[in-house]
């Protein structure tokens, strides 16, 4: 059972290719973030267009990979005084901040598609 209590959480500040899966994201954590993906920390990744997110977590029996794709909104990234992508490669977050990030989205303007005449 997935338990997020008492885990450190990090938001990758670099836009990530959302085609990446378990091993590619674990390599990204190890190489780009300079962290160990097998320590049980929670790593959150956001796609370039801010409509997709993935969460990677290691437990004793293996990786959890959770994904969310927004259809009509964008994820609202936390402001840290500088732009996401600048500074440290990973931004530490609390569990509450992660839950807010994954649920508090910015609505996107939808273009109205012309109706076909019947």
- The reply to whether the predicted model has a pTM over 0.85 is no
Hey, where are the domains in the chain?
9-107
State the DSSP string of 33-50.
S---GGGS-EEEEE-TTS
Question: Does residue 26 have a pLDDT over 80?
Answer: yes
More confident residue, 50 or 5: 50
Span 66-112, pLDDT tens digits = 999 998 888 888 765 544 445 678 999 988 888 888 887 666 554 44
Q: Which of 71, 70, 39 is nearest to 56 (CA)?
A: 39
Q: Are 10 and 90 in contact (CB under 8 A)?
A: yes
Q: State the DSSP code for 8.
A: -
Confidence (pLDDT) at 85: 46
Question: Does residue 9 have a pLDDT over 90?
Answer: yes
């Amino acid at each position: 059972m997935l338990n997020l209590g008492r885990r450190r959480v990090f938001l990758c500040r670099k836009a990530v290719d959302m085609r990446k899966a378990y091993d590619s994201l674990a390599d990204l954590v190890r190489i780009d973030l300079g962290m160990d993906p097998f320590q049980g920390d929670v790593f959150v990744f956001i796609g370039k267009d801010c409509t997709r997110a993935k969460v990677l977590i290691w437990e004793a029996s293996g990786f959890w990979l959770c994904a969310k794709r927004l259809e009509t909104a964008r994820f609202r990234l936390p402001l840290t005084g500088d732009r996401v992508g600048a500074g440290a490669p990973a931004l530490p977050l609390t569990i509450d901040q992660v839950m807010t990030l994954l649920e508090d989205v910015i609505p996107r303007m939808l273009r109205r598609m012309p109706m076909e005449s019947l």
